[in-house]
Amino acid sequence: MCFLEKYVIKGGKPLKGEVTISGAKNAAVAIIPASLLVKGVCRIENMPHISDTDMLLTILKELGAKVRFIDNSTIDIDCTNVEFGNAPFDLMRKIRASYYLIGAMLGRFGKAKTTMPGGCNFGCRPIDQHIKGMEALGAEINVKNGFVYAAAPEGKLHGSFIYLDKVSVGATMNIILASVLATGRTIIENAAREPHIVDLANFLNSMGADVRGAGTDTIKVNGVESLHGGTYAIIPDQIEAGTYMVAAAATKGEVLIKNVIPKHLECISEKLRETGTIVQNFEDSVLVRASGNLRKVNIKTLPYPGFPTDMQPQMATLLCQAEGTSVITEGIYDNRFKYAAELNKMGANVNVEGKMAIIEGGHSLTGAPVMACDLRAGAAMVIAGLCANGETEIEDIHYIERGYEDFVEKLRRLGADICIAEYPDDTDKKDNVIAV
């Protein structure tokens, strides 16, 4: 019989101590495909060791890249001799970020064949803006039977003006990837401004690209002939840091969160301060401390620098402990409140009405068996388990492992009572992994 893993948490202990944040997942999952554009060795530091990056590295290796771990968070990727070919489509289907292979392969080979990225679990997540961008650069795109076929008629893309109808992280980064080796200048208007977009641009520029304006809503890419190897360190993960910040506040603890860029956390810090949590910024760390009653707040998720949708479930868990009624409005996805039912199993009072979650605070949580519905929902259940009276068991933790390096170990070092236990696998859930 096969076994799956679950988290078992005995709640009620405030988190205390220090935690070091890993490299940003959503930067890493673009930078790994970006190394396809480079002829030479890319030494990448601060690479998070999570299942999403592992899957992308496996895909690159299958395509012929040489990948060598220097230490736990530093790798060398050498795509010099990679040839166009079939990648492992079963892996591509499992991971959302495989869409970056469309832009990277088009840039490198003038053609691409990928699967459509993995299924969506918070509403419809089309890639029409990615396709619109690639077509503007001259690619012919065909989506058929779950595959994306792309080709530049003369083997090379050409710069163009692209206005994104929707602010999209993925489309912005994918168009950057496709355009760095194109001829001429590409302008992306209404671009997303997340820190990981700046990070991708900085990575590419350090390898010889000419990407300007990342971090604003207008990005200009002047195509260059080729990219060369180099060394680059990925920025710290904004959402991993935010998750520990919220966990510290929710458990009424005191945690110094190290290896962060406090500016990237401002949207989260400000909302925490509104609840009465103390957040102190230092040069590359933040101290979070909470005691006494938390206050209700209202939140609307928005593209950066707005409050990140990827912190919404964790914040909802915190607000279950606050006094009064808080409202969270989801501004990015159609359906990212599936975790509400799981929280309610633990005694919370969260009512979802369309794109709004109405959270009546002040109900103490009690341990229960619950599921991780997706990566951040899973993190929210962990926070709930840490606050709850009694024991919480969380199944489907493979979602959580996509984005949190050493989650259990880091939490244990902060004093949490959390461990991994096995349970019999009576379903084929592992094959239904939903990409983030």
Give yes or no for residue 234 binding ligand EPU (CB under 6 A): no
Site for ligand EPU in 300-319 (CB under 6 A): 309-310
The DSSP output letter for 72 is T
Q: Which is nearer to ligand EPU, 41 or 192 (CB)?
A: 192
Is the separation of the CB atoms in 359 and 320 below 8 Å?
Answer: yes
Cis bond before residue 153 (omega within 30° of 0): no
Give yes or no for residue 128 binding ligand EPU (CB under 6 A): yes
Provide the residue count of the chain.
436
Q: Please list, in sequence order, all residues whose beta carbon lies within 8 angstroms of the beta carbon of residue 427, skipping any fewer than 6 positions away.
A: none
Q: Which is nearer to ligand EPU, 53 or 326 (CB)?
A: 53
Backbone angles phi, psi at 405, to 5 degrees: -75, 130
Site string for ligand EPU, 93-112 (x = CB under 6 A): ---xx---------------
Give yes or no for residue 332 binding ligand EPU (CB under 6 A): yes
CA 397 – CA 378 distance, rounded (Å) = 7
Task: Tell me if residue 124 is catalytic.
Answer: no
Give yes or no for residue 139 binding ligand EPU (CB under 6 A): no
Q: Which of 171, 246, 265, 359 binds ligand EPU (CB under 6 A)?
A: 171
Q: Please list, in sequence order, all residues whose beta carbon lies within 8 angstroms of the beta carbon of residue 63, skipping any fewer than 6 positions away.
A: 36, 79, 82, 83, 85, 87
Site string for ligand EPU, 391-420 (x = CB under 6 A): ------------x-----------------
Give yes or no for residue 238 binding ligand EPU (CB under 6 A): no
Give yes or no for residue 166 binding ligand EPU (CB under 6 A): yes
Where helices occur in 339-406 by DSSP H, the ranges are 339-345, 375-387
Q: Which of 85, 119, 126, 153 binds ligand EPU (CB under 6 A)?
A: 126
Which one from 2, 79, 120, 387 is the annotated catalytic residue?
120
The contacts found for 265-272 with CB under 8 angstroms, 24 or more apart, are 265/238, 265/241, 266/305, 267/304, 267/305, 267/306, 267/307, 267/308, 268/238, 268/241, 268/242, 268/307, 268/308, 268/311, 269/245, 271/297, 271/299, 271/307, 271/315, 272/245, 272/246
Smallest gap from residue 29 Cβ to ligand EPU (A): 5
For every residue of 103-117, DSSP letters joined together read HHHHHHHSEEEEEPP
Strand partners, 288: 255, 279
Look at residue 314 and give its three-state secondary structure: helix
> How many residues in the shown chain lie near ligand EPU by CB under 6 A?
25
Give yes or no for residue 371 binding ligand EPU (CB under 6 A): no
Give yes or no for residue 113 binding ligand EPU (CB under 6 A): no
**Nearest residue (beta carbon) to ligand EPU:** 170
Tokens standing for residue 101: 């292979």
Question: Which of 83-91, 162-170, 317-325, 365-373 is the region at the interface with ligand EPU (rule: CB under 6 A)?
Answer: 162-170
Give yes or no for residue 27 binding ligand EPU (CB under 6 A): no
Q: Which of 63, 127, 318, 386 binds ligand EPU (CB under 6 A)?
A: 127
Smallest gap from residue 130 Cβ to ligand EPU (A): 5
Give yes or no for residue 178 binding ligand EPU (CB under 6 A): no
Question: Which of 2-10, 22-30, 106-114, 410-418 is the region at the interface with ligand EPU (rule: CB under 6 A)?
Answer: 22-30
- Closest by alpha carbon to 375, among 418, 419, 352, 407? 407
Positions touching ligand EPU (CB under 6 A) are: 25-26, 29, 96-97, 125-130, 166, 168-171, 192, 309-310, 332-333, 375-376, 403, 436
Active centre residues (catalytic): 120
